[in-house]
């Protein structure tokens, strides 16, 4: 028994190469009008091959600015400055930590008075004692104020060492006055002790450091 002929355009349902259509009833028949387009504003049917939405839904791209982790410190990026105090050098005459510069300080009223006593008093003692008694005033300043003020102690020690040395030289010179050369030794010691004692006193009065020449460190 043979199958009756089919209208043109209708395929063979038993053909294994024909595409499978799960909704054959929705296909328009041969010669029928196409379905009307959807009304304006109605949802559009999804189409295959459309890429996923990039905005308004799904996962947004990771933030590149204004959030997340910023650059590490020291990378030169804005917002990260150098640590406090970095690259700042202490000013002239200042030491790190805020301490005053070391060296010859400016003593107060009492200290400066005792320093002048040590230097000018040594010069006066040498002048009045023929060069043999210049050590008395520095010794008084050393004993009276040396234990309380390091500045007075340092200046009194310098004056005391100088005057003791030249006092010994003056005494030796006057002892040898019977010999003609002894007079010159005594006069030289008297002049040296007086002149350099005055110079040291002037320097101390101007807050300038001064070290006696031709001296030895017998007392420290």
CA–CA distance, 41 with 47 (Å, rounded to integer): 17
Structural domain for 194, as ranges: 109-205
Give dist(CA 170, CA 184) in Å, integer.
Answer: 10
So what's the pLDDT on residue 181?
86
Nearest residue to 187 via CA among 174, 168, 176: 174
Name the one residue in this structure whose structure tokens are 């020449």: 213
Q: In the chain, how many domains are there?
A: 1
SS3 164: helix
Domain annotation covers residue 21: no
Tell me what pLDDT residue 81 has.
54
Chain-centroid distance, C-alpha 9? 94
Q: Determine how many CB atoms are found less than 10 A away from the CB of residue 176.
A: 15
Per-residue confidence (pLDDT) for residue 197, from 0 to 100: 96
Is residue 62 assigned to a domain? no
| Angstrom distance (rounded) from CA 20 to CA 198 | 127
Q: 212 in a domain, yes or no? A: no
User: In 3D, which of 150, 120, 151 has the Cα closest to residue 138?
Assistant: 120
Residues 220, 135: contact at Cβ < 8 Å? no
Q: Which helix (H) or strand (E) holds 2?
A: none
Phi and psi (nearest 5°) for 73?
-60, 145
Distance between CA 176 and CA 166 in Å, rounded? 15
DSSP E strands: which ranges in the chain? none
pLDDT reported for residue 48 = 53
- The pair of structure tokens assigned to 77 is 């990026």
- Residue 123: inside a domain: yes
Residue 149 lies in a domain: yes
Indicate whether 91 belongs to any domain.
no
Distance in angstroms (rounded) separating the CA atoms of residues 209 and 118:
14
Distances (CA, A) of 162 to 107, 173, 190: 22, 17, 12
Residue 161 forms part of a structural domain: yes
pLDDT at 93 (0 to 100): 41
Residue 217, classed as helix, strand or coil, is coil
In a domain, 63, yes or no: no
Per-residue pLDDT of the chain (220 residues; tens, 9 = 90+): 455 565 555 555 565 565 555 555 555 555 555 666 666 666 665 555 555 555 555 555 555 555 555 555 555 555 555 555 545 554 444 444 343 343 445 667 789 999 999 999 999 999 999 999 999 999 999 999 999 999 999 999 999 999 999 999 999 999 998 888 889 999 999 999 999 999 999 999 999 999 999 999 998 8
């Amino acid at each position: 028994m043979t199958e009756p002929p089919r209208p043109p355009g209708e395929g063979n349902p038993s053909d294994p190469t024909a595409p499978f259509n799960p909704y054959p009833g929705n296909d328009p028949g041969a010669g029928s009008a196409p379905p009307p387009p959807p009304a304006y504003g109605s949802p559009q049917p999804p189409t295959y091959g459309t890429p996923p939405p990039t905005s308004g839904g799904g996962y947004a791209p990771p933030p590149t600015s204004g959030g997340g982790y910023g650059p590490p410190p020291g990378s030169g990026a804005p917002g990260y400055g150098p640590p406090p105090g970095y690259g700042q050098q202490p000013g002239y005459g200042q030491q790190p930590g805020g301490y005053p510069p070391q060296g010859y300080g400016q003593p107060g009223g009492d200290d400066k008075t005792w320093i002048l006593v040590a230097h000018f008093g040594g010069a006066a003692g040498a002048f009045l004692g023929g060069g043999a008694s210049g050590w008395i005033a520095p010794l008084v300043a050393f004993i009276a104020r040396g234990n309380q003020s390091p500045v007075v102690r340092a200046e009194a020690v310098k004056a005391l060492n100088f005057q003791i040395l030249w006092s010994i030289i003056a005494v030796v010179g006057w002892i040898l006055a019977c010999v003609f050369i002894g007079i010159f030794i005594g006069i030289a010691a008297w002049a040296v002790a007086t002149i350099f004692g005055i110079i040291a006193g002037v320097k101390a009065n101007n807050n300038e450091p001064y070290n006696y020449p031709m001296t030895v460190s017998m007392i420290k």
